[in-house]
Amino acid sequence: MEEIDYKLINDYFNNISLRMFKDKDIEDNFLSIIRLNDKYNKFIGDRLLKNKTYYKHLDEVKMSYIDVINITKEIINTINPKYTEIIDNLLSNGKLDFAYEDGIYHDSYVIYNRHTKNKLININRTFTFNDVVILIHEFMHYVTSISTSFNDYIITEFISIYFELYANIYLLNNYNPSLSSIYYEERLLSSYKRSDSIYGIEFPFIAYINFGNLNENSYNLVNQYILPYTKKNYEFECNKVIRLIEKENNEKNKYIQSSQFSLIERNIYYFLATIMAFYVRGKYDMKDVINLAENVSNDEKYDLSLFEIFKKYNLKIEDDIFNITFDEIEKYLSLFENKKQRVN
Ligand SMILES: [Zn+2]
């Protein structure tokens, strides 16, 4: 590695750390997060990716606009009856938009204009049950308000993913969709991709967090004090960081997208939010998540760390996170797979 390459990586990690480690939760638990990530990566790789016959294209069930709205309202009503009124208001104000593939806005999202305080939801339709699930995800972003800090992003993403999983199961139980018309594995697979990108650069990042700016000697320090690794892999991962930085610089021009976070940060918060959604599903009551969703945007949350916020809402994150999370993912997948067996 050239010195100039180390500088590039150090600057990148430095920028990320300033935002990500504003409170100490993520930094203090970074090794645990990496371990969770490794386990998740292996689990999903074995569980979902080995069995390729799983993959089917979604049937076009041609769900109408009215179906999407009505089913969404029905589900939203079981989460919080107050929310149905908000959906009605969004519709009458033209703030809920159903766009179609147009090459630029190829995604579903909530847009927030900081100056006008205007919020818009856009859903890119697939005409399947997934439109309902995505709308519920984005709607939860809408009501939990727009986030500013790294922790806010984890919490609001957690809430959206939690209710997205809830919506999938609600649809399974009440609408009996064909398994090829519901994207029930989508979240697990997209988090797998994100997990994979963290997996690929964990060694230099751990080196940076523990010993500061990377240099010739960083490899030896980590190998000696933190975890064993080969020098070849270390350099391979450093090169991966450089490619990631290049990718990110290209993306900035390619998309009309203004995220304040780098790819790695986005991958980490989506990954953590997914893990937490399954963990909380497996351990706690939905009413506490509803309570968190209802209060998080007007709370004095800036004085609290991420883990303190979860604790405040009776959703304490503890050492059982490994077992509970992976059991719950297994349970969730089985719900859908049992249906598959019944059909066959
Ligand atoms: Zn989201």
The Å distance, Cα 209 to ligand 1 centre, comes to 27
How many other β-carbons are positioned within 10 Å of the β-carbon of residue 316? 13
Amino acid 258: pLDDT: 54
The per-residue pLDDT for range 281-310, each reduced to its tens digit, is 999 999 999 999 998 876 665 678 889 999
The Å distance, Cα 129 to ligand 1 centre, comes to 17
Phi (first) and psi of residue 86, to 5 degrees: -65, -40
DSSP track, 74-136: HHHHHH-THHHHHHHHHHHTT-EEEE---SS--S-EEEEETTTTEEEEEEE--SSTHHHHHHH
The Å distance, Cα 203 to ligand 1 centre, comes to 28
- Which residues, chain by chain, have CB under 5 Å from ion ligand 1? 160
The Å distance, Cα 176 to ligand 1 centre, comes to 25
pLDDT band (50, 70, 90) for residue 171? very high
Q: Summarize the confidence of residues 5-31 as an average pLDDT.
A: 91
Beta 109-113 vs 96-99: how paired, if at all?
Answer: unpaired
The distance from CA 317 to its chain's CA centroid, rounded to whole angstroms, is: 17
The Å distance, Cα 157 to ligand 1 centre, comes to 5
The Å distance, Cα 17 to ligand 1 centre, comes to 22
The Å distance, Cα 141 to ligand 1 centre, comes to 7
The Å distance, Cα 230 to ligand 1 centre, comes to 37
User: Sign (positive/negative) of CA torsion 157, 162, 163, 165?
Assistant: positive
* Residues 119, 109 contacting (CB under 8 angstroms): no
Q: Summarize the confidence of residues 33-40 as an average pLDDT.
A: 93
The Å distance, Cα 236 to ligand 1 centre, comes to 31
Q: In this predicted structure, which of 33-42, 259-268, 292-301 has the lowest mean pLDDT?
A: 292-301
Tokens at 48, concatenated: 């979902």
* Residues 121, 139 contacting (CB under 8 angstroms): yes
The per-residue pLDDT for range 56-102, each reduced to its tens digit, is 555 656 888 899 999 999 999 999 999 999 999 999 988 887 876 55
The Å distance, Cα 224 to ligand 1 centre, comes to 39
